[in-house]
Amino acid sequence: MTIALPDGRRSEIAIGGRIRDIGKYAGEKRVFILTNPEVFELYGDAFPAGAAVVLLPPGEKNKTLDTVSAAVSRLIEEGADRESLIAGVGGGIVCDMTGFIASIYMRGVRFGFVPTTLMAQVDASVGGKNGVNHEGYKNMIGVFNQPDFVLCDTETLRTLPERELKSGLAEVVKSALIADAALFEYLENRLGDILERSKEVLDFIVERSLRIKAKIVEADEREAGERRKLNLGHTLGHAIEKLSDNAFLHGEAVGAGLALAARLSNRLGLLADGELSRILRLLTAAGLPVAVPIEIALLLEAAEKDKKKQGDSLHFVLNKGIGDSIVKKMSCGELRALFGDAG
């Protein structure tokens, strides 16, 4: 699968790719791998021979410019130059930071990802968004820059903690709600197989989710229109992460955001009662929260500081049935009034 952009840039996505395949993209150049200690312990033996390893501290709280600065210092110490290849091996945080670091190091070097979590395979590693947080606000500092390659190996999901697997499912559900009613039904019917980590089923949901995202990114790389749909559940999800001090994993916060968006869509007459029930039922069965102990007024206050805010308005993504979505520009006051009844 390839993301092909109008200016000729291409990003290759290989479902079934392996960590050891990184070397194929480096040619004669040296490889620098950014990862975290846990992933290194699990998969370090598979890293290409001669690759330099830079360890990033785990956790959302460390997705900061301070960590970027420390990683850049290590790259300089190890001799990384403009011809080097930087590869991020790990989850969404590793991928986000690797893409950002590679984009600014010496004004930009080649990079790629081997995502090792479901969240990273279906979302964070694909699409060209790279960035870090600032004072708790998600990805407030970042760039658009496409990786050369993404190697998605669902075998790595066998070592993933169950909570992380369920967190990643939120992004798969999001993809289905945006543009694929058949995928939503598949998730309803095969959820048990997903949680049991059937490779066949995991390969299917990863590929299906990536095809949805690739099509949207090709049409709108920089989020001027259609790509805004990928933010379904995220406007309030990011607020939940911030106000809970990251007590919720990203996917858990997105799951709650999807539930809030579905309830609002139902109130606005876009989503039938039966469809709302199906969404809430699937999220619950997947182990994702459909409510959080944070007042909606506080969530909206945090959302008003989101990087996607334009003036006094937010582009809020709503469900127009299962498998269809729309982006509605609403003032913050309008959202507060609507959620006062629907939240």
d(CA 305, CA 302): 6
Q: Do 330 and 304 meet the contact criterion of CB atoms below 8 Å apart?
A: no
Q: Do 176 and 301 belong to one domain? A: yes
Mean pLDDT, rounded, for 45-52: 94
Residues 149 and 240 in one domain: no
- Whether 180 and 301 map to the same domain: the answer is yes
Residue 150, both tokens: 């993404």
Long-range own/partner contacts, residues 269-277 (CB < 8 A, 24 or more apart): 270/318, 270/319, 270/320, 270/321, 270/326, 271/318, 271/319, 271/320, 271/321, 271/322, 272/321, 275/319, 275/321, 275/322
Q: What is the pLDDT of residue 308?
A: 60
204 shares its domain with 329: yes
In a shared domain, residues 169 and 126: no
Residues 320, 334 within the same domain: yes
List, by residue number, the catalytic residues. Answer: 107, 129, 171, 213, 223, 227, 231, 234, 238, 250
Final residue of a domain: which of 110, 132, 159?
159
Q: 76-128: per-residue pLDDT in tens?
A: 999 999 999 999 999 999 999 999 999 999 999 999 999 999 999 999 898 89
- Domain residues for the domain of 261 are 165-342
Which of 171, 233, 237 minimizes the C-alpha distance to 208?
171
**pLDDT given for residue 9 in this prediction:** 85
Q: Has this prediction a pTM greater than 0.95? A: no
Q: Are residues 239 and 141 in the same domain?
A: no
pLDDT tens readout for residues 24-37? 998 888 999 999 99
Residue 113: phi, psi to the nearest 5?
A: -130, 145
**pLDDT of amino acid 40:** 97
**CATH number of the domain within which 97 lies:** 3.40.50.1970
Which of 159, 180, 214 is the last residue before a domain boundary?
159
Query: pLDDT of 189-218, one tens digit each?
Result: 999 999 999 999 999 999 999 999 999 998
Q: Is 90 exceeded by the pLDDT of residue 313?
A: no
* pLDDT recorded at residue 343: 44
- Let me know whether 33 and 73 are in one domain: yes
Residues 143 and 262 in one domain: no
Rounded distance between C-alpha atoms, residue 289 and residue 250, angstroms: 12
- Across residues 303-310, what is the average pLDDT? 69
Backbone φ and ψ of 284, nearest 5°: -65, -45
| Same domain? 326 vs 217 | yes
CATH number of residue 176's parent domain: 1.20.1090.10
Give the pLDDT score at 2: 85
Question: CA geometry: angle at 323 spanning 317 and 292, to 5°?
Answer: 50
State the pLDDT at residue 311.
Answer: 63
| Shared domain check, 221 and 105 | no
Give the end of a domain, one of 103, 137, 159.
159
Determine the 3-state secondary structure of 56 from DSSP. Answer: coil
Per-residue pLDDT, 117: 97
Residue 156, pLDDT above cutoff 70: yes
pLDDT for the residue 189:
98
Looking at the structure of the chain, the number of domains it has is 2
Task: Based on the fold, state whether residues 219 and 235 are members of the same structural domain.
Answer: yes
